[in-house]
Structure 1
């Protein structure tokens, strides 16, 4: 009987300790921003074949133009990519130069996606094995990077671009262009 009582009290103590740990963790300040180890780093080396018949492929050298630009990772199969398409077009209308990387996609599916949702891209590379995606430190799609004119990543937006994100991304693009 005594042994059963000790076991019961140990279980209560473990449960109380877990409850206290959970309570403590839930009351910590929330941080929604995911920091990227690639921000501030040069783009990794890549050379991608065209993902679309009407746009050239994409390589690291295409970012060393002296002008900042956006690099958007997307997939025709990606529902959030469809949702962010109007924001990419809004960014293009406001002067953003946008390049894309189509992940695990076929040229036919990319063409259909661009026809349905618009094509703000100046170049689109095809990353069939997600090698460039992983080299960029991207965990999913969509993700958008601001690249300065020297080919250095200055900002990373994880997830679909919402209408409220457009001014932030434009500001980051301007900042990348000013060398700040």
Structure 2
């Protein structure tokens, strides 16, 4: 029995090391799959933010490709991705914003400083982010004309990510 116990620590170590190696060699370690991909997006349940047009469920279900972007003024990655959102908006992509865990004054200041790429905005009253499975901000969803989620992208949209995942999802959503 003591002989078996002598080999137990090295065997456990090797097993744990193998798990780490497998985990570190996944294709995309930052990919957080969404249970909603391919399904109809959950309802839009937001309150208005100042004088901005209100993001509604009708906007989400309207024909055409659209992005739903969860953001906050206190979020540094949201600032980093903002030029990419403005670029997409300038190209005619409909982007709807959901302000997340933020003060209205701070959100207004962010938009005044950075620009407003959103067709309509709402502020989350703690239910929409839960319903959509948000883990943090920024998170962006590409939605097709049927209101179906094509892609969930967690993190800031960079130029590389725009080319690698967002644009292909927009193309798929437009089919």
- Give the TM-score, by structure 1 length: 0.85
Name the count of aligned residue pairs.
170
1:23 pairs, out of 17, 27, 31, with 17
Q: 2:116 matched to which residue of 1?
A: 119
- 1:105 Cα shift? 1.4
Q: 2:137 matched to which residue of 1?
A: 141
Q: Distance in 2 between matches of 1:9 and 1:44?
A: 54
1:100 pairs, out of 87, 97, 104, with 97
Report whether the alignment pairs 1:65 with 2:69: no
- 1:176 Cα shift? 0.6
Q: Distance in 1 between matches of 2:8 and 2:87?
A: 54
Deviates more, 1:71-80 or 1:24-33: 24-33
- 1:151 Cα shift? 1.1
Q: Distance in 2 between matches of 1:14 and 1:114?
A: 59
| Structure label with greater radius of gyration | 1
Q: Distance in 2 between matches of 1:101 and 1:77?
A: 14
RMSD: 1.9
- 1:40 Cα shift? 0.9
- 1:102 Cα shift? 0.3
- 1:165 Cα shift? 1.5
Cα distance change of structure 1 residues 92 and 9 upon mapping to structure 2, 3 Å threshold: same
- Give the TM-score, by structure 2 length: 0.88
Q: Distance in 1 between matches of 2:89 and 2:107?
A: 19
Report whether the alignment pairs 1:152 with 2:148: yes
Whether the aligned pair in 2 keeps the contact of 1:71 and 1:144 (CA below 8 Å) is yes
SS at match of 2:102: coil
